[in-house]
Amino acid sequence: MNELATNRLSRSHWIWRAMGLVTLAAGVLIAATAVRIVRVASRADLRPADAIVVFGAAEYAGHPSPVYRARLDHAYDLFQRGIAPVVITTGGFGYDPDFSEGGVGRDYLMHRGIPERSLIAETQSSHSAQSAVRVAVIMHANGMGSCVAVSDEYHVFRIKELLEHQGLKVYVAPRSGSRPHTRWQRCLALLRESVSYLLWRLHLPV
């Protein structure tokens, strides 16, 4: 084997080795993040706060999806318990030009009996990171600094980090029973949330 071929094999070896190390490091980061997600998902941290923030989910022609409705019902229960005097619903228009997730959530809670003066709808965001930024703007503008974040169990870790990054004091209230039922679904959900969180930390689009 000539010297040129030897050098090529050596470079190829180091390239594959570097790729293996990068893959291993990424796997370790994802696994460590997944552990943190599960830890936060397993406990509610209910304390009095300035606002309850409900992260949006799908809506259908002005009606919240079952997942979103369950989040809103959880927020309603927290409001009735006096956890916070204001509920903020989040989410933009998505594929529906007539209804936003935030607006649908506000209307649903108002119909359930929460006074309109106690409801704020954030209606411009298209994903969780944008929701966190806009919620922080709303809260700071209204002299609020702490919130109880409501979403699904595997989602609350990421939204807690997003909101804290905006300078808010954040407690979490995961929706009971929202963890995926099968092991495969749980693994996929943890992978999705872990990767989304790590991409955000790297300032990459999610």
* Side-chain-side CA neighbours of residue 87 (13 Å): 32
The per-residue pLDDT for range 115-167, each reduced to its tens digit, is 999 999 999 998 999 999 999 999 999 999 999 999 999 999 999 999 999 99
Q: Which residue spans within 102-145 are E strands per DSSP?
A: 119-121
Structural domains present in the chain: 41-201 (3.40.50.620)
Cα–chain center distance at 57: 10
pTM for this prediction: 0.85
User: Would you call 96 helix, strand, or coil by DSSP?
Assistant: coil
User: Mean pLDDT over residues 166-180, rounded?
Assistant: 91
Residue 24 has pLDDT above 70, yes or no: no
Contact present, 192 and 165 (Cβ < 8 Å): no
Q: What is the DSSP letter of 97?
A: S
Distance CA 25, CA 21 (A): 6
